[in-house]
Chain A
Amino acid sequence: MEKLLDFFNININFDVIPMEWYLVVSTMMFFVGIVGFIIRKNLLAVLISVELVLNAAELNFAVFNRYLYPGALEGMFFSLFGIAIAAAETAVAIAIIINVYRNMNNIDTDSVEQLKH
């Protein structure tokens, strides 16, 4: 066990949270989002997976800012703008999905294969 911990450069101190833990959590959130993006059929579920991916990226910005450059604010503002852009993108995507539903009567990814030219 100690060898394993040494291999990964882990020294456990239960007062502070190492930066790596945040990064591992956001990595897992990111890849779960990618799996959802690939396997879901429903367009809204695909969009929710994209939200997971974006959320992981924004968490990373904030974590890097806090741990590596605590005096600066750049990472936090990137997260802030990222959240706003994600919200805007979601609104447009949902408008498109509702339009697809009106035309095709369902929102499966298979039914959008034949888009109008």
Chain B
Amino acid sequence: MVIIFAILALIILVSSVFAVTSSKMMHIAMYLLFVLASTAGLYFLLDYHFLGVVQLSVYAGGVLTLFIFAILLTNTKGERSEIHGIKRIIPALLAALLGIGVVALAIMKYTFPYADTATANDVVDKEINMEVIGHALMGTEKYQYLLPFEILSVLLLACIIGGILIGRKR
């Protein structure tokens, strides 16, 4: 478990760093794919199998395809994607290092109230039944999510209309 986690974490960190520093857009998209797929691996490690599959199909499948098409549509020949000068990079790096330091210190110092015992040892490692997810997604009672689901479908409709409206030729 720990070894799998270490491999996935390493892939995530290295790929995300390359995704923001690489100069070719296609490479950036590939690194983003690695990050998203490894995050799906972390979901599988947490036994959220449905969430992992959704992450793979929606993010690594759909969004990434969209990105690749957009890159191909907007790429002028052989142009490299520049990054801002040193005047932007140094404050950004400082802010990020400071942020990582503060947040990591806070996380490490805080003792989380784990569900059953004082440690992480008793994490329930059972898969969530698909039936449970389906009922929770389609029910109208407490802790059930039909209303957000429907609102999300309205949001998707709005996005379709907005996308067509913005993207069409005049």
Give the Cβ gap from B157 to chain A, nearest Cβ, in Å: 10
Contacts of B130 in A (CB 8 A): none
Contacts known (A9-B109, A40-B84, A87-B63); A27 close to B104, Cβ less than 8 A? yes
Contact B104 A24, beta carbon cutoff 8 Å: yes
Asked if B13 and A29 sit within 8 Å, CB to CB, the answer is yes
B2 to chain A: closest residue by CB? A14
- The answer to whether B162 touches A95 (Cβ under 8 A) is yes
| A16 B92 Cβ-Cβ under 8 A | no
**In the complex, chain A residues whose CB is within 8 Å of the CB of B17:** 32
Known: A29-B13, A34-B99. A45 touches B25 (CB 8 A): yes
Could you tell me the distance between the alpha carbons of A33 and B120 in the complex, rounded to whole angstroms?
A: 28
- Take A41-B82, A51-B63, A91-B66 as given contacts and tell me if A20 and B107 are in contact as well, using a CB distance cutoff of 8 Å: yes
Closest residue of chain B to A22, judged by CB?
A: B42
A42 nearest CB neighbor, chain B only: B81
Cross-chain pairs A/B with CB under 8 angstroms, 9 sampled: A9-B108, A16-B119, A24-B108, A29-B12, A34-B95, A40-B81, A48-B20, A70-B123, A83-B55
> If A14-B2, A95-B166 touch, does A48 touch B113 (CB 8 Å cutoff)?
no
- Please tell me if the beta carbons of B120 and A92 are within 8 angstroms of each other in the complex: no
A72 to B115, CA, bound (A): 11
* Closest partner residue, chain B, to A74 (CB atom): B143
Q: Which of B51, B59, B103 contacts A55 (CB 8 A)?
A: B59
Q: Contact string, A97-117, partner B, CB cutoff 8 A, digits 1/0?
A: 111011001111000000000
What 1/0 flags go to B120-145 for Cβ under 8 Å of A?
11011000100011001100000101
Q: Chain A interface (Cβ within 8 Å of chain B)? A: 8-11, 13-25, 27-29, 31-36, 38-42, 44-45, 47-49, 51-52, 55, 58-59, 62-63, 66-74, 76-77, 79-81, 83-92, 94-99, 101-102, 105-108
Contact call A45/B16, Cβ cutoff below 8 A: no
The answer to whether B28 touches A48 (Cβ under 8 A) is: yes
Residues of chain B contacted by A89 (CB below 8 angstroms): 159
- By CB atoms of chain B within 10 A, which of A8, A66, A68, A72 has the most? A66
Also in contact, A17 and B108, with CB within 8 A (given A36-B20, A66-B123): no
CB distance from B39 to the nearest CB of A (A): 6
Of A21, A35, A71, chain B has the most CB atoms within 10 Å of the CB of: A35
Q: Which residues of A contact B36 (CB under 8 A)?
A: 51, 55
Give the chain B neighbours of A28 by CB distance below 8 A. Answer: 13, 16, 100
A38: which B residues are within 8 A, CB to CB?
Answer: 84, 88, 91-92, 95
